[in-house]
A and B are shown apart, each in its own frame.
Chain A
Amino acid sequence: MRNIWTICRREMYAYFVSPIAWVLMTIFALFCGFFAWFASAEFLLESQRAMMSGQSFPMNINEQVIAWIFSNIAIVALLVVPLISMRLFAEEKRQGTIELLATSPVRDYQIVIGKWLAAFLMFASLLLILAIDYSFLFAYGNPDWKPVATGFLGALLQGGCLLALGTFLSALTKNQIVAGAIGFGLGLLLWLLSWATAFGNSPTVQVLNYLSIVSHLDSFSRGVIDSKDIVYYLSMIFLGLFLTTRSLESLRWRA
């Protein structure tokens, strides 16, 4: 446990001492701000329109603003996550510091979990910026807090899952760009799988849809915690970290 924390702390140091964390947080803040502004402006416009026409549509700030923002942030996260995870092992391999880690009294899985945890905390600090935007909704309106909480949980799980896969990709190469690019590709693929629903509801479609990373997010942003989604995310995280550990072990046999 202490070893995991040691590794994790150094990785956090690397993120926050280098520009990586600050650049990502700035970009993320801009996107979150824009989404929050856009969604609430549209919400206001629609409620004005409803008042003028005299009809009362059911308006729901949770669904129309918060859930909408979450679903967009999920796409942004798909693109941001490879930027966080691509350096984890690729950089160590290029610098030769992997030799230091591999000859220190720590186990491979501790290195892997420590690094993933740091990336996860980095991602969580991005989501913290979104929480600032949401705090305005709570200040000037009265949205239900439960879908917000589950939405964050879903976003964290989705991020953690992509980060685990990204960590694995980073362990496969010395080249950060390669790890990042394949990460983008994989993220987009996992997103596009949900489009399979356009082709009916055959078992194949259901499997593909289940594999898609975004299809599991919808219920979270609606305030529903479904065990099948939790199982999906946790097993993907486990798979990613397991593969990374194996790949790290194999380094020794190939090197």
Chain B
Amino acid sequence: MIQVEHLSKRYARHLAVNDISFSVEKGDIVGFLGPNGAGKTTTMRVLTCFLPPSDGKATVAGFDVFEQPLEVKKRIGYLPETPPLYPEMDVQDYLTFIARLKNVPARDIKGRVEHVIERCAVADVKTRLISKLSRGYRQRVGLAQAIIHNPDVLILDEPTSGLDPKQITETRDLIKSLSGEHTIILSTHILPEVEAICRKVIIIVRGKLIATDSVERLKSRGVQQSVQVQVSTGMQDGAGMVRERLAQVPGVRTVTEKSTSDDKLTFEVEGLSDGAPRADIARAVVQSGWNLLELKSTTQSLEEVYLQLTGAGLTAETATGGAQ
């Protein structure tokens, strides 16, 4: 649905997006993740034909954003970071205007307006002036605006920023419910959001793409499933014996001693990709007559993966910067 190839966008002095490529399949819901100023908004603006790319190319539904912007615009619903609302209009009039602007056929306009009012739960404020709406309602009117012409692709720039927790949950549910009908790209710097809504993640840092993968695969990516074991042996110098015993457990690859305080020995046990055999470890410890104090699995959260990746991205950047 969306193809981005070697896309770069340069502002006067500053390279906002640096040679990124990715593709989004029809029906996907993709999270665009990165710290503030990473180039998420710029990429989205290129996809919506608001900004031309400096280099590379991007196509939406088979149409090039630079060569055939009108065709692309017809197929895209876009919610910028601040919803583009006219404060002097009421909700219904505003949506009617948007429907006309997006070339919805005249006879369908009334139906579409009613449909999106229903869909985005703004029926109770439909005759209210937009200037009088709360932040949450504005966001929903913004979403209604984006889906009114039933676009193939929805591009949402930080759709939950500035909302309170209840509104965030509501907006996420709304976005999730839209995913059946549209291909969705949403940008965010909030991780749980990606975990909650998206199936796929694209991480960019300082304009560079550093990861694009499904949420599940990214979580397990390059990360050993490991188990932390805390044992008390009641003997002096039990550490070596424990390590040996643990290493004999089938499926265990490495055993590292982490800390030893008083009588508590802590080991990090890394196993095979499908998880260290916790039951076997527990049995081995107990059968050896030691006390098993703690046994916990330490899979990395997406957050850690993200921090690790963005951290790596940053250091790589500074390294090349230093070399220049």
Cβ of A228 under 8 Å from chain B: no
Rounded to whole angstroms, the CA-CA distance of A6 and B103 in the bound complex is: 10
Which of A9, A101, A106, A252 touches B51 (beta carbons < 8 Å)?
Answer: A252
Across the interface, name the chain B residue whose C-beta is closest to A17.
B88
| A1 beta carbon closer than 8 Å to chain B | no
Complex-state Cα separation, A3 to B101, whole angstroms:
7
Q: Which A residues from 1 to 53 make CB contacts under 8 A with B?
A: 2-3, 6-7, 9-10, 13-14, 17-18
- Verify if B89 is at the interface (C-beta below 8 Å from A): yes
Q: Which residue of B lies closest to A101 (CB)?
A: B101
Decide if A99 touches B74 in the complex (CB within 8 Å): no
Residue numbers in B under 8 Å from A101 (CB-CB): 101
- Asked if A140 is at the interface (CB within 8 A of a chain B CB), the reply is no
Contact indicator per residue, chain B 82-115, by CB within 8 Å of chain A (1) or not (0): 1011111100010001101111000000000000
Contact A104 B93 (CB under 8 A): no
Q: How far is the CB of B89 from chain A (nearest CB, A)?
A: 7
Interface residue? B22 (CB, 8 A):
no
> Is A231 in contact with chain B by the CB < 8 A criterion?
no
* Interface flag for B242 (CB, 8 Å): no
Shortest beta-carbon distance from A105 to chain B in Å: 4
Q: Given A10-B97, A102-B50, are A97 and B84 neighbors across the interface (CB < 8 Å)?
A: yes
Residues of A within 8 A of B100 (CB): 2, 6, 9
A103 contacts which of B76, B88, B103 (Cβ < 8 Å)?
Answer: B76
Q: Are A17 and B89 in contact (CB under 8 A)?
A: yes
Contact between A96 and B84, CB atoms less than 8 A apart: yes
Q: Which of A10, A13, A103, A253 contacts B78 (CB 8 A)?
A: A103
Q: Could you tell me if A103 and B50 are in contact, using CB atoms closer than 8 angstroms?
A: yes
B138 to chain A, nearest CB (A): 12
Chain A: minimal CB distance from B272 (Å):
49
Flag whether A246 is at the interface (Cβ < 8 A): no
Partner of A104, one of B45, B87, B89, B101: B101
- Tell me, rounded to whole Å, the shortest Cβ–Cβ distance linking B182 to chain A: 16
Residue interface bits A74-106, CB-to-B below 8 A is 1, else 0: 000000000000000000000111011111111
| CA–CA, A3 and B78, complex, Å | 19
A103–B48 CB distance below 8 A: yes
Q: Does A146 contact B (CB under 8 A)?
A: no
Interface of B is mostly: loop
CA of A149 to CA of B178, assembled, Å:
57
The listed residue (B45, B85, B93, B102) touching A97 by CB distance below 8 A is B85
By the criterion CB–CB under 8 Å, are B84 and A99 in contact?
A: yes
Q: Please give the distance in Å from B134's CB to the nearest CB on chain A.
A: 18
Our pick among B51, B80, B87, B103 for the contact of A255 (Cβ within 8 Å) is B51
Q: Given the complex, which residues of B lie within 8 Å of A18, measured CB to CB?
A: 88
Residues B80 and A252 in contact, CB atoms below 8 Å apart: no
Please name all residues of chain B whose beta carbon is closer than 8 Å to the beta carbon of A96 when the two chains form the complex: 80, 82, 84
For chain B residues 41-95, which have a beta carbon within 8 Å of chain A?
Answer: 45, 48-52, 70, 73-74, 76, 78, 80, 82, 84-89, 93
A9 vs B86: C-alpha distance in the bound complex, in angstroms?
A: 14
Q: For A9, what are the chain B residues with a Cβ–Cβ distance below 8 Å?
A: 97, 100
- B98 — which chain A residues lie within 8 A by C-beta? 100
Contact assessment for A13 and B89 in the assembled complex, using a CB-CB cutoff below 8 Å: yes
| Chain B residues within an 8 Å CB radius of A105 | 70, 73-74, 101-103
B97, chain A: closest CB distance, angstroms: 5
Question: Cβ of B101 and Cβ of A99 under 8 Å apart?
Answer: no
- Verify A253–B52 contact, CB threshold 8 A: yes
Docked Cα-Cα span, A9 to B51, in Å, equals: 27
* A–B complex contacts, Cβ < 8 Å, 11 sampled: A6-B100, A6-B101, A9-B100, A17-B89, A97-B85, A99-B45, A101-B101, A103-B78, A105-B73, A105-B101, A253-B52
Taking A105-B101, A255-B50 as known contacts, 8 extra A-B pairs with beta carbons closer than 8 A to each other, sorted by chain A number, are A7-B101, A10-B97, A14-B89, A103-B76, A103-B78, A105-B103, A107-B70, A253-B52
